């Protein structure tokens, strides 16, 4: 991830405060029981992103001043982390360049994501 952040800073001239790091939201058609290894990698990645948000003072220097949004948390019903399926389309769709169909966010889900990101940017820059 450090390399990606470096590209954003150098190629697109974005400051650390202009970049928002997000956890991966729940995947509505991924069964954690059927795809155990993939699910563990998914949860591990999100936990690593959360650790960046939990202790900003303990971040490595390459992660200083980035804001972090936990999309996974905001796309679940409550603290049990059950996926809120009301935020996803009812059927899976084929996405170009992929082998499988995916359940994407519906209009409400897309608005929620944009509101979280926009609200975070307004808060950080004020």
* Partners of residue 83 on adjacent β-strands: 76
Q: Tell how strand 20-22 and strand 101-102 pair up.
A: unpaired
First to last CA, the chain: 27
Give per-residue pLDDT as tens, 65-91. Answer: 778 899 999 999 888 888 899 999 999
In contact, 120 and 69? CB cutoff 8 Å: yes
Query: Cα–Cα distance between 55 and 99 in angstroms, integer?
Result: 38
Question: What's the burial of 80, exposed, middle or buried (CB within 10 Å: 0-12/13-18/19+)?
Answer: exposed
- Indicate if the pLDDT at residue 57 is higher than 90: no
Q: Is the pTM of this model over 0.85?
A: no
State the pLDDT at residue 56. Answer: 65
């Amino acid at each position: 991830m450090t390399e990606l952040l470096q590209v954003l800073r150098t190629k697109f001239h974005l400051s650390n405060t202009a970049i928002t790091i997000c956890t991966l939201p729940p995947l509505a058609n991924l069964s954690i029981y059927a795809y155990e290894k993939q699910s563990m990698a998914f949860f591990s990645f999100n936990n690593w992103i959360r650790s960046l948000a939990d202790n900003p003072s303990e971040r490595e220097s390459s992660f200083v001043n980035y804001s972090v949004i936990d999309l996974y948390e905001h796309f679940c019903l409550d603290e049990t982390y059950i996926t809120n399926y009301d935020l996803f389309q009812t059927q899976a769709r084929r996405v170009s360049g992929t082998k499988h169909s995916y359940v994407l966010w519906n209009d409400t889900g897309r608005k929620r994501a944009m509101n979280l990101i926009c609200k975070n940017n307004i808060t950080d820059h004020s």
